[in-house]
Amino acid sequence: MLFKLSFRNMKKSFKDYAIYFLTLVLGVAIFYMFNSLDSQQAMLQVSESQKQIITLMIGMLGIVSIFVAVVLGLLIVYANNFLINRRKKEFGIYMTLGMGKRQISKIILLETILIGILSLVAGIVIGVFASQFMSILVGKMFEADMSSFRFVFSQDACIKTCICFAVVYVAVMIFNTFTISRYKLINLLTAIKKNEEVKIKNPVISILIFIIAVAVLSYAYWIVTGGINKLNSMDKLIWPILMGIGSTIAIFWSLSGFVLRLIQAKKSTYLKGTNMFVLRQLNNKINTTVISMSVICLMLFMTISVLSASLSLNDKVQKELVRLTPIDLNLYKDANLPESYKTYSGKTAKYSETRREDSKITVEETLINNGFDMNLLKDVVNIPIYAIEEMKWKDFFGDIFPEVKQEFPRLNYETKEEIIKVSDYNKIAQLYGIKQFELQDNEYIVLCDFQNMVTLRERVLQEGNILTIAGTRYVPKYDQCQDGFIDMSASSINTGILLVPDSCNLGQEQIGKYFMAANYNVNTENEKKEIEKIFAEESSSLLQNFKKNDIEIDGVTKITIIESSKGLTASIVFIAIYLGIVFLIASSAILALKQLTESSDNKQRYLILRKIGCDEKMINKALFRQIGIVFMLPLVLAIIHSIFGIQFALSTMTAITSTDELIPSIIATVCIMGAVYGLYFLATYLGSKNIIKEEV
């Protein structure tokens, strides 16, 4: 009997369940998709290091999934609360007919189970198909061999999803039972007649607060876009964040206090059609939902910013990797080691005689001496990099050193500058395919591409700072840092290289390290990976000889840089997309449920519109405009926040250097938001239209 009643109620009230069902299905699908990556990994043909990275990424996603489960759980409880309030009159009738609260709780329990089963099945089906595209995306990001691609169903992800949402549904059932137990018959029967008290704000105070909020928000925008100094620490960033949150709340609070009055002053607009009704409805809604509108706005802002920045990051990193890894191998080692050195503990230790003797020869000679076949390499270039006590960072900054140290106290100003003779650098530049330079006997050039250090060094160069190197004075050839590097990396991290003329009197005893660049003398990727093992695997004969002879050579390879960089980028991108979509679903669902609640509470007002002669077309148009404006208000402010948030991202994420590079990701973000936000808007409008047609 109760089961049949529950099934009929759910079928009859499906329009009420539309938003609830949509939220559940999307939540289940997203949860399954991001937790099924472990099954997708099995069919990806990737290297061992990439497998480790993917495993780490899956572990990180698992931790994030706990947070996501909590967010979705709270959202489902919130959505369920709307349904309970929506049916107060129905429950009152049940109690009038003699049904007890326990039986009502059983009906709701059965309805929850039914809707839970339907949403789980639908969500997992959608998630299973969507996860196949996810695996293709993972394979593309890691450049994996997709020849063994096949349709995969993740049993573990399915079980995890079912358990997670079963826990949520149990919480919903407990919440429903507790809620029903508190209801009284008189409250249930008269709930529809209760109106929320609306306080009228002073328009003068509202305008004043609005102006102050806009001013504070503008100041926060100015700070994050570099108005004062670069925000290089969290303690400096926290104040603009707090100002942004406070200003957002103040803007929504003040809007309802003066917008209606302003439009009322223009009678031709205010009295046209149903404008008067729509504006008063909007005024009341904004007035009573300040906090929720502010939270929704901030969640949308996070969604836009996170999705835009993360989606562009992957594309930009790929381009940067091509530019910053032009060859296969970089090796370097310390040169001219002294007899002893200080350890981190302050004790004095000695280098072995073998290591000190080896430090006087090039990297190539060391490889040959330890049994490496140089025929495996081609395009080999060896250069010395000089470092002298008289030229440290503090010496380069010269007169402005006290000012720079006060501004950036954590920099190690005792770091020796890397000095390279221009002809040596040009050998590397020719191999890399980047710009070469020429110098007069009294000139120097600064190569730097790490943006924060570029800013500092150019303050020196624009002063025409003269450097004394090996007893000779040199003037800057350019008043700006030039783009260039010798160490391969995943991003622009060159903090500075001084190019000096070949005539500079630097001897072998002033060499800081020897550097070697080369390509593998093979053609295929598999052959390159075989040579790679010689430099990467501890068991290789070369590394064993280094260990036996107490020789230490450091280096990086193109393959390892690309694999590790793509792994880190993929982890960031997937977590950002995961959280961004969840925030989008949560904000859209909250906004939709708020509007459905308002429509349910205002049925009498729409009934009055019909009685005074408004036809259904006019009423539906008024409802559409009303819901559309409410959906647009937090979105518009979120977009404004995002414009400045993305500019802040440009200044802090060195991988992204211009707004143009964000355009494809912004378009993708718009498409994702348009699909989800638009779907909720449409469901809200259709649901509200059905609600206001019901008998009061």
Quick check: 446 and 500 in contact, CB under 8 A?
no
pLDDT for res 63:
78
What's the whole-number mean pLDDT along residues 266-270? 68
Mean pLDDT of 394-411: 88
How many Cα atoms sit within 13 Å of 479 on the Cβ side? 4
User: Distances in Å between the alpha carbon of 480 and those of 230, 421, 446, 454, 462?
Assistant: 19, 19, 8, 8, 7
pLDDT at 237 over 60: yes
* Whether the Cβ atoms of residue 551 and residue 369 lie closer than 8 Å to each other: no
Q: Which of 23-37, 89-103, 227-241, 549-563 has the highest mean pLDDT?
A: 549-563
Does the pLDDT at position 582 exceed 80? yes
Quote the CA–CA distance of 583 and 288 in Å, as a whole number: 23
pLDDT 10s digits, 121-154: 888 888 888 877 777 776 666 665 555 566 677 7
Q: Who has greater pLDDT, 429 or 259?
A: 429
Highest mean pLDDT among 7-16, 215-224, 290-299, 427-436: 427-436
What is the number of other CB atoms lying within 10 angstroms of the CB of residue 691? 22
Distance CA 359, CA 249 (A): 64
User: For residue 516, what are its two tokens?
Assistant: 């070697």
Looking at residues 338-344, what average pLDDT do you find?
75
In degrees rounded to 5, what are phi and psi of residue 476? -70, 135
Tens of pLDDT, residue by residue over 599-656, are: 777 777 778 777 777 778 888 888 888 888 888 888 999 888 888 887 776 666 554 4
Buried b (16+ CB within 10 A) or exposed e, 1-38: eeeebbeebbeeeeebbbbbbbbbbbbbbbbbbbbbbb
What is the pLDDT of the chain when averaged over all its residues? 79
% of the chain surpassing 70 pLDDT: 78
The share of the chain scoring above pLDDT 90, in percent, equals 19
Whether the predicted pLDDT of 696 surpasses 50:
no
**Predicted pLDDT of residue 274:** 72
Q: 390 by DSSP, 3-state: which?
A: coil
pLDDT tier for residue 13 given thresholds of 50, 70 and 90: low
C-alpha 214/C-alpha 542 separation (Å) is 65
| Bigger pLDDT: 71 vs 450 | 450
Q: List, for residues 160-212, the tens digit of each pLDDT value.
A: 888 888 887 777 777 777 766 666 655 555 555 544 444 556 778 888 888 89
Give the pLDDT mean for 581-606.
Answer: 79
- Burial bucket for residue 204 (CB in 10 Å: 0-12, 13-18, 19+): exposed
Position 186 scores a pLDDT of 53
Nearest by Cα to 485 from 501, 506, 499, 471: 499
Q: Is the pLDDT confidence value at 295 over 90? A: no
- Name the pTM for this structure: 0.69
Instruction: Out of 2-11, 125-134, 367-376, 624-633, pick the least confident.
Output: 2-11
Lowest mean pLDDT among 344-348, 545-549, 550-554, 682-686: 344-348
Kind of pairing between the strands at 554-557 and 418-421: unpaired
User: 24-38, 290-304, 516-530: which has the highest mean pLDDT?
Assistant: 516-530
Q: Which of 23-37, 315-329, 418-432, 617-631 holds the top average pLDDT?
A: 418-432
